[in-house]
Amino acid sequence: MKDTNDQIKKQEWAEESIRKKYHKQIFSPFAKACKTYRLIEDGDHIAVCISGGKDSMLMAKLFQEIKRHKKVEFDLTFLVMDPGYNKKNRDLIESNAKDLGIPITVFESTIFDAVDTIDKNPCYLCARMRRGYLYSKAKELGCNKIALGHHYDDVIETTLMAMIYGAQIQTMMPKLHSTNFEGMELIRPLYLVREADICAWRDYNELRFLRCACHFTETCATYGEEDVSVSKRIETKKLIAELKKTNPYVESNIFRSMENVHLDTVIEYKKDGVRHHFLEDY
């Protein structure tokens, strides 16, 4: 059993680091994304979805901090779905939540068992199923939004992956209306926060978070920077790092490109599922 005073000190230290040491790198871009993309509005009840990793745990603390400012009236539920974690991983999530002062609501599902028998794209299926369960539970609890912990680096990697591997131009949006759950939205408040800064905050506070806990990678359950598998995202991350050696602006250029689309120079595009060709208005 951890000493209560130690837990209080750990929580206070983590919160102080957000307010001071990492205010500019983490809290400011978090608040900017919330304001720029109108992610938090009066009357919202947001389900902050916590996977147990560094991103979602920090996101939970940032929500607590921005709520403390009382500029917008909204409610929070810190939602943890257990898709079939082993006891060690479940305990780690609960322990971190307690240490950081995050009052989590846990519910269970059997997603890991369901995807165990899938040979092709089990991670994609797992992610889709997770989101469906989270939407459903959040709506049941009276929430109108779910918040996911995707950050700036996820956005630029997704943008580049779409071009290189998907032959399309699209990005990860800061917010989306749910197509299957009426009245629900998905928001990404870490949209402008860099992963390196999240890692720096984690290490500064000497925190250890869940990394990947599915049955395929249980041996790599806790955080680490080593690659657990060769994936398209890891390849893209490495490509961006390589390009950055000769172009220090490559990351911001990729991000800003999706805010600077010139439709007059696009051969074809889709709008609301309908394909349009430049010859229609030529």
Helix, strand, coil abundance in the chain, percent, nearest 5:
50, 15, 40
CB atoms within 10 A of CB 85: 21
- Per-residue confidence band for 120, with pLDDT thresholds at 50, 70 and 90: low
Structure tokens at 35: 């304001």
CB atoms within 10 A of CB 43: 9
Amino acid at 135: Y
- pLDDT single digits (tens) 142-195: 999 999 999 999 999 999 999 999 999 999 999 999 999 999 999 999 999 999
The SS3 of residue 79 is strand
Is residue 280 packed enough to be buried (19+ CB in 10 Å), middle (13-18) or exposed (0-12)? Answer: exposed
Residue ranges with strand state E in the chain: 45-49, 75-82, 104-108, 145-147, 175-177, 185-187, 268-271, 274-277
> DSSP assignment, residue 192?
T
- Per-residue confidence band for 43, with pLDDT thresholds at 50, 70 and 90: very high
CA distances from 48 to 56, 75, 77, 235 (A): 8, 10, 6, 29
φ, ψ for residue 146, nearest 5 deg: -115, 140
Structure tokens at 153: 């680096």
Rounded CA-CA distance 260/137 in Å is: 37
- What pTM did the predictor assign? 0.89
- Per-residue confidence band for 238, with pLDDT thresholds at 50, 70 and 90: very high
Rounded CA-CA distance 39/187 in Å is: 6
More confident residue, 162 or 4: 162
The pLDDT value given to residue 22: 97
The pLDDT value given to residue 86: 84
Q: Which CATH number fits domain 4-260: 3.40.50.1000, 3.20.20.10, 3.40.50.620, 3.90.1150.10?
A: 3.40.50.620
Can you give the length of the chain in residues?
A: 282
Closest by alpha carbon to 106, among 124, 126, 84?
84
More confident residue, 1 or 263: 263
Rounded CA-CA distance 192/33 in Å is: 6
Strands 175-177, 185-187: pairing kind: antiparallel
The pLDDT value given to residue 218: 47
CA distances from 237 to 38, 112, 154 (A): 29, 26, 9
